Amino acid sequence: MTSTSASAPAREEVIRADDIRVWYATDRGPVRAVDGVSFSVRQGEILGLVGESGCGKSTLGRGLLGLLPDGAAMDGGLTFGGEDLLAIDPKQLYKRRGQELGMIFQEPLTRLNPLMRVSEHFLETLRTHEPDLRKEDMEKRSLDVLRRMGIPPTRWRSYPHEFSGGMRQRLMIALALVLRPRFVVADEPTTALDVLVEAQIIRILHDLRREFDTSLLLITHNLGIIAEACDRVAVMYAGRIVEIGDAREVFAHPQHPYTQELLRSTISLSTTGLHYIPGAPPDLVTPPQGCHFHPRCPQALQQCLEDPPVETLDSGTRVECWVAARDAGLATIPAGRDEPLEQKELSVADEA
């Protein structure tokens, strides 16, 4: 099913993020939604991005494409197809590279114009980004992508409201893919869809990779989708990527306590529904010092009040955690700092 990136030959990096930060200006001060994130995505690779609500996943995805809303600011290094994009105003990025960058949004209805037919959506998109294409070629290419998404040519002149929710989502995906982007961010493409559509979308994502070598950042709450669709997975917590590695490896041997808790909560929700991660992600105006997860971490030590080291293990997994680094023999914790941390937040949440 899923091809493992481990056995595939090393491939060209399509996008590389270096210490990316994104913050929103608010009355209370800056919300540090993405707080120093580094990773790359190779050609044809599907990287999953998971984490609880409010951890900064959508902000990161939008930042990579230059699609941040007003009031957001970003810095750090960003390379796309070898070109250094640091110098480019993030807001210009989408205009310049829009054809090579695609975004599949969470809520298809708000992105489709109810007054425009399917045909007009496609032709307008192609005219904007590939004005030299002949109209008949635009039509041919659009119909081909629609067919792949399971939308028959007879719907070419339909309006968005004539489609079911699942079909509209596929319409959105087709619209993003008609430009044959090299890198696509899909933000919760399967939320609110039934299992059948979900399976279909996963298949389409695989087709896409096979045919066009598209690279994908797939944002989802659904760890099942990550397991089925992704080569690698990045786990985000409070603006940081706390763990990133081969998807199978991370699922089999999660290193960060947050990843472990996330996996436990998913497994038990689908069986007994008993386990959840106590507490909630922090306010990103004033995140906790040291490891941002320490107030909720069942394994937290005194040392976790200091910024955790970023270590790459033999398995290739990169993890940001004192306990994981110590257990791998990559960090020593000073005597006296290895006592468990008193967990006020956990006991409060457990009583609730």
Ligand X SMILES: Nc1ncnc2c1ncn2[C@@H]1O[C@H](COP(=O)(O)OP(=O)(O)OP(=O)(O)O)[C@@H](O)[C@H]1O
Residues that bind ligand X (CB under 6 A): 24, 26, 31, 33, 51, 53-59, 69, 71, 284
Among 33, 55, 58, 282, binds Ni ion (CB under 5 A): 58
CB-nearer residue toward Ni ion: 57 or 141: 57
CB-nearer residue toward ligand X: 56 or 290: 56
Report in angstroms how near the CB of residue 206 gets to ligand X at its nearest: 24
Report in angstroms how near the CB of residue 61 gets to Ni ion at its nearest: 8
HSE on the CB side for 3, CA within 13 Å? 13
- The option from ligand X, Ni ion, none interacting with 55 (CB < 5 to 8 A, set by class) reads ligand X
Residue 32 · residue 239 · CB < 8 Å: yes
CB-nearer residue toward ligand X: 55 or 67: 55
Per CB under 5 A, contacts with Ni ion among 101-140 are: none
Report in angstroms how near the CB of residue 35 gets to ligand X at its nearest: 10
Asked if 190 interacts with Ni ion (CB under 5 A), we say: no
Copy the structure tokens of residue 168. Answer: 């509209």
Which of 99, 121, 232, 233 has the alpha carbon at shortest distance from 170?
Answer: 121
- The option from ligand X, Ni ion, none interacting with 316 (CB < 5 to 8 A, set by class) reads none
CB-nearer residue toward Ni ion: 57 or 294: 57
Distances (CA, A) of 317 to 89, 232, 233: 32, 10, 10
Sign of the four-CA dihedral 321, 33, 191, 216: negative
What span, in angstroms and rounded, lies between the C-alpha atoms of 238 and 227?
22
Report in angstroms how near the CB of residue 207 gets to ligand X at its nearest: 26
Report in angstroms how near the CB of residue 36 gets to ligand X at its nearest: 14
- The option from Ni ion, ligand X, none interacting with 53 (CB < 5 to 8 A, set by class) reads ligand X
Report in angstroms how near the CB of residue 94 gets to Ni ion at its nearest: 18
Angle formed by the axes of helices 118-129 and 135-148, to 10°? Answer: 120
Asked if 220 interacts with Ni ion (CB under 5 A), we say: no
Residue where the block lists tokens 């941390």: 341
Residue 177 · residue 145 · CB < 8 Å: yes
Query: Chain-centre distance of CA 213, in angstroms?
Result: 18
Distances (CA, A) of 330 to 27, 311, 312, 326: 41, 7, 9, 6
CB-nearer residue toward ligand X: 280 or 348: 280
- The option from Ni ion, ligand X, none interacting with 235 (CB < 5 to 8 A, set by class) reads none
Positions that interact with Ni ion (CB under 5 A): 57-58
